[in-house]
């Protein structure tokens, strides 16, 4: 794990997101912000992991395409510059499937079963039957996603660290068997402190505790005003701990430094109440949501679609020579 903390200067960067619904602030602060920053310094490939979305949403895949269109628009509206990086769709670069299949030959089932997210997600998504080969193989497909581009760095949130550890081990095993064919990928973590969901758990669409990127002011205001704060503050006079409060996390991301310092101080001394603290947050949060919504509305869907098609063609070109190396190493 210590090794993960090392932030190298990356050369080739690949990362993906699953198109499973509207993007929320957790996606932005947990990953996208990191993508935007790194795309100024490295050769970056960012993709829609639509096959990964199918591993959980296979019974009703009807929303994946729409989520994918919105996701690309959200990435660009949030500041990811398509001139500086390559945007593409996983399922349209078939080499991902081919490398996944070949990696499967050398992937111990025990390794897959031991990835912590395997059991965690099965428990979290009890309503879905996830006892499938595709879901079990999720980390192997993710390994193919990054190894296919010789990526040395993978900007992801903390929740993906175990997948990157898996990827490194699988690449090492592959290289041990077939010679040094693939590049070992490293997680490139965001320095930004994480954003909690409005109920104090991790921000996640399935918990219904998120604020969408570009959410309408009225809706965001209502949800913030009923959000859970530090449960120790039952009365206005009870001191609180901002570190465990979603509202404070949002202040850190959206409010000016003086406000953040004030909230930190006055929460602990019961100098302000949660209602006022929330109203202060909305002063900066609402305009940020408005700006995102306006930026997204200005994007032409046809232009976004074209950028993604161009990016997908480029991704295929980069992936194919790596696949040629892999096929040769495996005597195919």
Interface of this chain with ligand TRP, residues 60 to 89, rule: CB under 6 A: none
Interaction residues for ligand SF4, span 37-76 (CB under 6 A): none
Rounded CA-CA distance 76/36 in Å is 9
Two tokens at 178?
A: 């077939």
Residue among 49 and 227 whose Cβ is closer to ligand SF4: 227
CB of 258 to ligand SF4, least distance (A): 15
Q: At how many degrees (to 10) do helices 64-77 and 274-298 cross?
A: 100
**88 near 95, Cβ under 8 Å?**
no
DSSP 119-156: HHHHHHTTTS---SHHHHTHHHHHHHHHHTTT-SEEEE
Calpha distance 143→326 (Å, rounded):
14
- Which distant-in-sequence residues (6+ apart) come within 8 Å of 111 by Cβ? 166, 169, 170
**Of these partners, ligand SF4, ligand TRP, none, which one is at the site of residue 215 (CB under 5 to 8 Å by kind)?**
none
Contact segment (CB under 6 A) with ligand SF4 among 17-25, 29-37, 164-172, 238-246 equals 238-246
Q: Residue 145 interacts with ligand TRP (CB under 6 A)?
A: yes
Q: Which does 15 bind (CB under 5 to 8 A by kind): ligand SF4, ligand TRP, none?
A: ligand TRP
Binding mask 215-234 for ligand SF4 (x = CB under 6 A): --------------xx--x-
Among 25, 245, 322, 326, which residue interacts with ligand SF4 (rule: CB under 6 A)?
Answer: 245
Walk across the sheet containing 186-189 and list its strands: 85-89, 43-48, 12-17, 153-156, 186-189
Query: Which residue ranges make up the site for ligand SF4 (CB under 6 A)?
Result: 229-230, 233, 240, 242, 245, 247-248, 263, 267, 272, 274, 277-278
Residues that bind ligand TRP (CB under 6 A): 14-18, 49, 52, 142, 145-146, 154, 156, 160, 163
């Amino acid at each position: 794990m210590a090794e993960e903390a090392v932030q190298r200067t990356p050369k080739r960067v690949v990362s993906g997101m699953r198109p499973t619904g509207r993007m929320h602030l957790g996606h932005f602060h947990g990953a996208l912000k990191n993508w935007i920053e790194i795309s100024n310094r490295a050769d970056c490939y960012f993709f829609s992991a639509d096959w990964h979305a199918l591993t959980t949403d296979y019974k009703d895949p009807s929303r994946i395409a729409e989520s994918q269109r919105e996701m690309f628009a959200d990435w660009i509206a949030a500041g990811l510059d398509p001139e500086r990086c390559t945007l593409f769709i996983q399922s349209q670069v078939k080499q991902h499937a081919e490398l996944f299949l070949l990696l499967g030959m050398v992937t111990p089932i025990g390794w897959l079963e031991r990835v912590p997210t395997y059991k965690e997600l099965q428990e979290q998504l009890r309503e879905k039957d996830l006892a499938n080969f595709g879901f079990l193989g999720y980390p192997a497909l993710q390994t193919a996603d990054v190894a296919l581009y010789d990526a040395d760095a993978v900007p992801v949130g903390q929740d993906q660290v175990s997948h990157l550890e898996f990827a490194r081990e699988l690449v090492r095993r592959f290289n041990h068997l077939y010679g040094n064919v693939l590049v070992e990928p490293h997680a490139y973590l965001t320095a930004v402190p994480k954003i909690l969901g409005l109920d104090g758990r991790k921000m996640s669409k399935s918990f219904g505790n998120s604020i969408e990127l570009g959410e309408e002011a009225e809706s965001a205001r209502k949800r913030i005003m009923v959000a859970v704060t530090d449960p120790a503050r039952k009365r206005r006079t009870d001191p609180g701990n901002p570190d465990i409060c979603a509202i404070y996390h949002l202040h850190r991301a959206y409010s000016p430094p003086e406000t953040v310092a004030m909230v930190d101080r006055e929460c602990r001394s019961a100098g302000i109440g949660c209602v006022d603290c929330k109203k202060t947050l909305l002063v900066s949060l609402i305009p940020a949501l408005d700006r995102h919504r306006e930026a997204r509305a200005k994007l032409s869907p046809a232009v976004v679609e074209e950028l993604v098609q161009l990016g997908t063609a480029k991704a295929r070109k980069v992936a194919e020579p790596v696949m040629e190396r892999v096929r040769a190493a495996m005597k195919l």
